[in-house]
């Protein structure tokens, strides 16, 4: 990017208000710096202190970090605890009556459950699991809709030391099968159906089908939660209704005390190549990360009403739905449905109705809600909000400004949180009462997270050209291994050139304040005529044009330039009706990008769609866009796609 001016120079800086700073858990930049200094001075002492102060231990640990077999790190290894105890029992003495979960169903029906009742339900369910012979170390696949029961299922596994692996309800039977067999699961927990956008979508048939695909002999139990009154095929040899499983079970269940390193869960995530990787997380280190980030980044207070919109099928739904908020003893909203049903005001109405204070969602949700109703938030009372969060991909400054002004009333700091399935919790994110924020940057690493940027040789670079994002030292919440494939873990995340640092797979650069700007996955960086271009930079340039709602950039091999830039664009208004009109707007946008970044970044091709192909977790599926850009037939699995029809529209678009 040597001679291209990055568009990610942001002059707008938002300093936290004096009131926010005053009440913040980490109050002021000096307080943040003091924590960083403590971590630099005595790294293991710092994490040891936090682990002692934050978690409740059955047996205290004596050694903080064992790095003798790096990169297979062990934290707090001889300590014993139980994650479900920390999330539930820990609050019973002081706040048994406090609401733990406010559940809003797709149809708007609201159910609240307090800590006492949630504890009892988790215990009953855990006893139910035990009654089926499920025990410590067994793997349990959870394939459920967003519900109180999904959280009960996860917590119930944690209570008996079973290792859960949640599979997002939008995955196909084939993906489910892949995960069940890789994890050699003993049981599957599912529901008859899920409700989304007013529709009943059966879930159990996918489980039934997965189990017929072979290699699932390990599964001896399928537990089915009844969500809808729909016909459900039944195999009496191993199927059991959730309500029958828990009927008559005791509402107390002594937790299984496990070692700090006992795997809490496996969560499958896609790598750049090959089959999905089973990211294995620990018990203590993982929970510490979830809790400490709740305190630091979400500035968690006992009075908060916290709402993270992520599905429990993703890491965000693990750390900031199933574990973090409960471990803090907080009240949280869980939502079954979709943001556009019955209309695009649903999120805003829910914030108003439940008096949400902390709202955490993804840029893609924000952008689509801007497109569907940029003025809608104004119709609701959003004055309960005090903090906003963003996760999943870089947030372009235009969407950031709208989120800040229209949703947050120019009053709420935005925490743009960079992290990954593998890191377990936030890594680079503002501590909102400490650092000034700027649209588009996730700012600075959390205290004790030694993130930096290096070149191909693993040497640190501090300039604005950027390089690979790495984390130099091990940290408690990190991935422990890839389930069943330690070699892949070692090779993929700790390649030799990185001298022992964790390679995140993202590229980034730092600005003059040392703030990190994520440029995209390493494989999303284009090389056009020898110039390195972040796809995100071009996307951001396009999105800053008043005509554009959303844009995605991919590379296509090009004879002369190495790679050509292909843009997929969603306009704010309707899609251009005629080829002439499409070409005219494309030319305007090409010139716009030339002006914003430089002629080198001008898209060679622009295709207009009504939307972009997205997973149900909201990530743009760039690999599909790459196939379309290359004119290839799409042979990949598209079962996780929210909107498959969009592919044909983009394939046939004029360019
Ligand atoms: C939490 C989560 C991880 C990848 C990560 C990066 C992208 C996530 C981001 C972000 C820029 C942010 N990513 N948060 N990029 N700014 N605030 O999303 O985990 O599904 O494993 O994805 O998502 O590319 O490497 P996961």
3-state secondary structure 426-479: CCECCCCCCCCECCCCCECECCCCCEEEECCCCCECCCCCCEEEEECCCCCCCC
CA-nearest residue, atom 6 of ligand 1: 393
- Give the chain's mean pLDDT: 93
Copy the structure tokens of residue 498: 């990185």
Residue 9: predicted pLDDT = 55
Grade residue 523 by pLDDT with cuts at 50, 70 and 90.
low
Q: Which of 402, 432, 449 is the last residue of a domain?
A: 449
- Whether residue 630 lies inside any domain: the answer is yes
Residue 88: predicted pLDDT = 98
Residue 531: predicted pLDDT = 65
CA-nearest residue, atom 26 of ligand 1: 420
Task: Report how far apart, in Å, the C-alpha atoms of 249 and of each of 124, 126, 150 are.
Answer: 5, 9, 18
CA-nearest residue, atom 7 of ligand 1: 393
Residue 4: predicted pLDDT = 35
Using a 10 angstrom Cβ sphere, with 0-12 exposed, 13-18 middle and 19 or more buried, the burial of residue 327 is buried
More confident residue, 535 or 189: 189
**Residue 48 sits in the same domain as residue 137:** yes
Using a 10 angstrom Cβ sphere, with 0-12 exposed, 13-18 middle and 19 or more buried, the burial of residue 532 is middle
CA 133 to centroid of ligand 1, rounded, Å: 37
More confident residue, 534 or 514: 514
- Model confidence at 597: pLDDT above 90: no
pLDDT in tens, 50-85: 999 999 999 999 999 999 999 999 999 999 999 999
Ligand 1 atom nearest 504 alpha carbon? 25
Grade residue 2 by pLDDT with cuts at 50, 70 and 90.
very low
Question: Which residues, 6 or more positions from 241, have their beta carbon under 8 angstroms from its beta carbon?
Answer: 223, 224, 225, 226
Bridge partners of residue 469, in order along the sequence: 453
Ligand 1 atom nearest 269 alpha carbon? 21
Copy the structure tokens of residue 647: 């592919």
How much is the average pLDDT of 433-460? 96
- Whether residue 484 lies inside any domain: the answer is no
Helices (H) and strands (E) in the chain — how many of each?
A: 21, 30
Question: Which residues, 6 or more positions from 292, have their beta carbon under 8 angstroms from its beta carbon?
Answer: 50, 54, 425, 446
- Whether residue 565 lies inside any domain: the answer is yes
Grade residue 601 by pLDDT with cuts at 50, 70 and 90.
confident
Q: Which of 417, 449, 481 is the last residue of a domain?
A: 449
531 and 2 in contact (C-beta within 8 Å)? yes
How much is the average pLDDT of 577-605? 91
More confident residue, 302 or 562: 302
How much is the average pLDDT of 627-640? 83
% of residues, the chain, pLDDT over 90: 80
Residue 5: predicted pLDDT = 37
Q: Which of 391, 418, 449 is the last residue of a domain?
A: 449
How much is the average pLDDT of 284-291? 98
More confident residue, 598 or 280: 280
Count of domains forming the chain: 2
- State whether residue 316 is helix, strand or coil: helix
**Residue 265 sits in the same domain as residue 367:** yes
Residue 6: predicted pLDDT = 40
CA-nearest residue, atom 3 of ligand 1: 420
CA 435 to centroid of ligand 1, rounded, Å: 21
Copy the structure tokens of residue 338: 């979709």
Q: How many Å apart are CA 264 and CA 377, to the nearest integer?
A: 39
| Helix 29-41 vs helix 43-54: crossing angle, to nearest 10 | 120
Q: How many Å apart are CA 300 and CA 278, to the nearest integer?
A: 30
**Residue 428 sits in the same domain as residue 569:** no
Question: Which residues, 6 or more positions from 409, have their beta carbon under 8 angstroms from its beta carbon?
Answer: 382, 383, 385
Contacts made by residues 591-595, CB under 8 angstroms, sequence distance 24+: 592/541, 592/542, 592/545, 593/538, 593/541, 593/542
Closest to 345 in 3D by CA, of 365, 329, 369: 369
Question: Which residues, 6 or more positions from 285, have their beta carbon under 8 angstroms from its beta carbon?
Answer: 75, 76, 260, 261, 424, 475, 476, 477, 478
- Whether residue 460 lies inside any domain: the answer is no
How much is the average pLDDT of 416-420? 96
CATH number of the CATH domain containing 592: 3.30.300.30
- Model confidence at 645: pLDDT above 60: yes
Highest mean pLDDT among 164-178, 394-408, 617-631: 394-408
Residue 172: predicted pLDDT = 80
Residue 249: predicted pLDDT = 98
CA-nearest residue, atom 4 of ligand 1: 420
**Residue 441 sits in the same domain as residue 566:** no
Q: How many Å apart are CA 367 and CA 538, to the nearest integer?
A: 16
More confident residue, 77 or 10: 77
**Residue 407 sits in the same domain as residue 317:** yes
**Residue 111 sits in the same domain as residue 212:** yes
Residue position matching structure tokens 């090779």: 491
Highest mean pLDDT among 48-62, 602-616, 625-639: 48-62
- Model confidence at 617: pLDDT above 90: no
CATH number of the CATH domain containing 151: 3.40.50.12780
**Residue 429 sits in the same domain as residue 538:** no
| Helix 148-160 vs helix 115-131: crossing angle, to nearest 10 | 60
How much is the average pLDDT of 24-47? 98
**Residue 330 sits in the same domain as residue 420:** yes
Bridge partners of residue 570, in order along the sequence: 550
Q: How many Å apart are CA 568 and CA 606, to the nearest integer?
A: 6
- Whether residue 562 lies inside any domain: the answer is yes
b (16+ CB within 10 A) / e for 149-178? bbbbbbbbbbbbbbbbbbbbbbbebebbbb
pLDDT in tens, 170-210: 878 888 998 999 999 999 999 999 999 999 999 999 999 99
**Residue 443 sits in the same domain as residue 591:** no
Residue 271: predicted pLDDT = 57
User: Looking at this predicted complex, what is its ipTM?
Assistant: 1.00
More confident residue, 107 or 649: 107
Question: Which residues, 6 or more positions from 306, have their beta carbon under 8 angstroms from its beta carbon?
Answer: 298, 300, 320, 325, 330, 331, 332, 333, 356, 357, 358, 360
**Residue 157 sits in the same domain as residue 256:** yes
**Residue 371 sits in the same domain as residue 223:** yes
| Segments forming the whole domain that contains residue 609 | 529-650
Annotated binding site for ATP: 392-394, 416-421, 506, 521, 532
- Whether residue 478 lies inside any domain: the answer is no
3-state secondary structure string, 537-587? Answer: HHHHHHHCCCCEEEEEEEEEEECCCEEEEEEEEEECCCCCCCHHHHHHHHH
How much is the average pLDDT of 330-349? 97
Whole-model pTM: value is 0.87
Q: Which residues line ligand 1 (CB under 6 A)?
A: 269, 314-316, 391-394, 416-421, 442, 504-506, 518, 521
**Residue 445 sits in the same domain as residue 536:** no
- Model confidence at 156: pLDDT above 70: yes
Highest mean pLDDT among 7-16, 361-370, 458-467, 484-493: 484-493
- Whether residue 476 lies inside any domain: the answer is no
Top mutation candidate among 323, 417, 419 for ligand 1, by most atoms within 8 Å of CB: 419
How much is the average pLDDT of 446-451? 98
Copy the structure tokens of residue 403: 């989120």
CA 643 to centroid of ligand 1, rounded, Å: 21
């Amino acid at each position: 990017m040597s001679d291209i001016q990055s568009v990610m120079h942001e002059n707008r800086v938002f300093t936290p208000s004096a009131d926010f700073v005053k009440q913040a858990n980490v109050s002021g930049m000096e307080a943040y710096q003091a924590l960083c200094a403590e971590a630099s001075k005595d790294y293991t002492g710092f994490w040891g202190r936090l682990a002692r102060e934050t978690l409740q231990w059955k047996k205290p640990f004596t050694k903080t970090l064992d790095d003798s077999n790096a990169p297979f790190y062990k934290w707090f290894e001889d300590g014993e605890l139980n994650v479900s105890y920390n999330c539930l029992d820990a609050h019973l003495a002081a706040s048994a009556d406090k609401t733990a979960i406010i559940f809003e169903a797709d149809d708007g029906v609201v159910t609240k459950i307090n800590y006492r009742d949630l504890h009892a339900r988790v215990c009953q369910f855990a006893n139910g699991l035990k009654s089926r012979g499920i025990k410590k170390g067994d793997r349990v696949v959870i394939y459920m809709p967003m519900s109180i029961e999904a959280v009960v299922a996860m917590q119930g596994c944690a209570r008996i030391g079973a290792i859960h692996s949640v599979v997002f309800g939008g995955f196909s039977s084939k993906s489910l099968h892949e995960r069940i067999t890789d994890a050699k699961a003993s049981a599957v927990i599912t529901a008859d159906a899920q409700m989304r956008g007013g529709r009943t979508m059966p879930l159990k048939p996918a489980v039934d089908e997965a189990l017929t695909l072979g290699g699932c002999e390990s599964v001896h139990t399928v537990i089915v939660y009844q969500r809808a009154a729909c016909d459900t095929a039944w195999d009496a040899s191993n199927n059991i209704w959730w309500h029958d499983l828990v009927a008559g079970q005791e509402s107390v269940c002594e937790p299984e005390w496990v070692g700090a390193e006992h795997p809490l869960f496996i969560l499958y995530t896609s790598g750049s190549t090959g089959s999905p990787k089973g990211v294995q997380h620990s018990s203590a280190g993982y929970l510490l990360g979830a809790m400490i980030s709740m305190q630091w980044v979400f500035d968690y207070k006992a009075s908060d009403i916290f709402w993270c919109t992520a599905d429990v099928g993703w890491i965000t739904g693990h750390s900031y739905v199933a574990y973090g908020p409960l471990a803090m003893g907080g009240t949280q909203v869980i939502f079954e449905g979709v943001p556009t049903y019955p209309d695009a005001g649903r999120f805003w109405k829910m914030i108003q109705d439940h008096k949400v204070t902390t709202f955490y969602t993804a840029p893609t949700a924000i952008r689509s809600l801007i497109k569907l109703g940029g003025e809608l938030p104004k119709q609701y009372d959003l004055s309960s909000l005090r903090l906003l969060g963003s996760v999943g991909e870089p947030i372009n400054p235009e969407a950031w400004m709208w989120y800040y002004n229209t949703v947050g009333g120019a009053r709420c700091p935005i925490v743009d949180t960079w992290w990954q399935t593998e890191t377990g919790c936030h890594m680079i994110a503002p501590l909102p009462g400490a650092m000034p924020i700027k649209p588009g940057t996730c700012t600075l690493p959390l205290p004790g997270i030694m993130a930096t940027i290096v070149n191909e040789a693993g040497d640190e670079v501090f300039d604005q050209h950027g390089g690979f994002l790495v984390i130099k030292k091990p940290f408690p919440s990190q991935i422990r291994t890839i389930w069943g494939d330690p070699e892949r873990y070692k090779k993929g995340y700790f390649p030799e050139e990185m001298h022992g640092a964790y390679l995140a797979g993202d590229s980034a650069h730092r600005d003059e304040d040392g703030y990190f700007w994520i440029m995209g996955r390493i494989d999303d960086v284009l090389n056009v005529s020898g110039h390195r271009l972040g796809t995100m930079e071009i996307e951001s340039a396009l999105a800053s044009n008043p005509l554009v709602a959303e844009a995605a950039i991919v590379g296509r091999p090009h004879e002369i330039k190495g790679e050509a830039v292909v843009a997929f664009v969603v306009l704010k208004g309707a899609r251009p009706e005629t080829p002439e009109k499409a070409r005219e707007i494309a030319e305007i946008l090409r010139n716009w990008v030339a002006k914003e970044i430089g002629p080198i970044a001008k898209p060679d091709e622009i295709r207009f769609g009504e939307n972009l192909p997205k997973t149900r977790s909201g990530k743009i599926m760039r690999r599909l866009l790459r196939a379309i850009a290359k004119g290839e037939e799409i042979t990949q699995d598209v079962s996780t796609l929210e909107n498959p029809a969009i592919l044909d529209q983009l394939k046939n678009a004029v360019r």
